[in-house]
Structure 1
Amino acid sequence: MSEFNDASPEFLDTEALSDHPQFASTLAHGLAVLGCFAGAGTTLGNKDIAERLGMTRPTVSRLTFTLMGLGYLRRDRSGKYSLGLAVLTLGYPLLSQMTIRQMAAPEMMELAQYARGPVSIGTRDRLQVVYVETVQGREVSSNKPDIGSTRPFLRSAIGRALLYALDPRERTMVLERLREAQPDDWAKYRVPMELAQRQIAEQGFCVVEGEWSPSYSGVGVPLRQPVHGMPMALNLTVPAYATDREHLEKNLGPRLVSLVRNIESKLGSEAA
């Protein structure tokens, strides 16, 4: 069973969370500053950050000073900031405990080379999927998701597979929050998402063609038990021009299911 508490603050909406007596606003503001640097190669000044977050420049200046002193930001000669290396040291312990990454890598590489597309592992970060590993074969893909990159739940193969992997109570809470927070996506993709849940129940995988991106198709497979206390799923993504529905359903989907079952077997042996 995954470690899930339906009273978790991550399921409070923004207003309810910020009004909670245990909410630490200064910490939240500091993390919001770091969140401004999510784009690759992003550099921002205090004015840029203040405008993005709706904060005063003196407040932002105090936050960036503190974050720079702790190593989470660094400043260039122009006075603008970018992420510092302490961000890596913060995330490394979490990644290092995920032994599934090393265990699954050889088979992920074999499938990636066969399919000519990246194979990835993802888990849940609030209302999105976050990738914790990606393996790519000799084919270079602009779609290769780096560790830490995210995908939407409702319209991606890995998102729909991960929804299936969630504890039923957790799934109910996530779906409710998605309905509230992403009403447009909910209206457009709820039915395909529900069809994907049935496809996984029947075949072990789901197929997405062009719903996350018109240029790519993918298959997703959930792990049947949490790993390191976290629900996880795998996906395989290939260019839409290089495949069709039959190839996804008759070939790539079953191959990814076989890969996941082998991983589950290895994890079971490791735990025994």
Structure 2
Amino acid sequence: MICALGSAVCFGTASVLQAAATRAIAPGTGSGVDPGLLLRALRQWRYLVGLALDGCGFLLQIVALRSIPIYAVGAALAASLAVTAVVAARLLHVRLSRVEWSAVGVVVAGLAMLGLASGAEGDRAGSTALKYAMLGTAVAVLLAGAVGGRLPDKPRALLLGLGAGCGFGVVEVAVRLIDDIAPKALFTNPAAYALLLGGGAAFLLLTSALQRGSVTTATAGLVLGETIGPALVGVAWLGDRTREGLEWLAIVGFAVAVAGALALARFGEAPVTEDLEHATTP
């Protein structure tokens, strides 16, 4: 759980830097999913530092996923929005309302309940069908991005955010489906390709969603996509369970943590102050 929370800290801080970088980039033309946008973002040092934090967060996420149930890790990752809100308040001088500070407290309370209730990771080996299902889901995420890019602003933001969340959800499940990291085993494991494709598609969709449309709507879709689906897969197919007699606490804690994260959805795009823009202009 400590690794899951450390991952949330890395992802939450990275969001502040990446959102500031993507908003400083001139938008492309045509579809809302612009691969060139990601290439332009890579020229921004803030985006690169954010990617480095994302890398650290991903390593911590892997450790967490190999130790505790997916539902606990997913809720912790959704809590990265609480981290983003606090970082934005401290570094960017963004004012949080009492309701938003309360939402941060709600997220912390939900995670505390999950920490008390969650057991060890499930001991079921994922079937071959589940591995191919994850690969198919990753492909579907890319297709959803292509369709979503042609929709009006509001539904486009929701679909891009939900698609990004599903892509990150594929990564969460795929990590549990990779038991052997020997090169030969990786090359023949559909889950390895699902992890790469799902993660890459999620980054592309999320980068586009950060710059275009309603970021609050996109982030709400992101939270739902990366928590609910993977949690259900972990319980139904991978054997994730709670400590005996604490199922109710895990359900309440999960719901509370996700609800608090949704209340902080506007921090999917950390506002950039004028002072920060002057201080960080390359």
TM-score range, shorter chain: under 0.3
Structure of greater relative contact order (alpha carbons < 8 Å, 6+ residues apart): 2
Structure ranking higher in strand proportion: 1
* TM-score calculated relative to the size of structure 1: 0.23
Structure ranking higher in helix proportion: 2
* TM-score calculated relative to the size of structure 2: 0.23
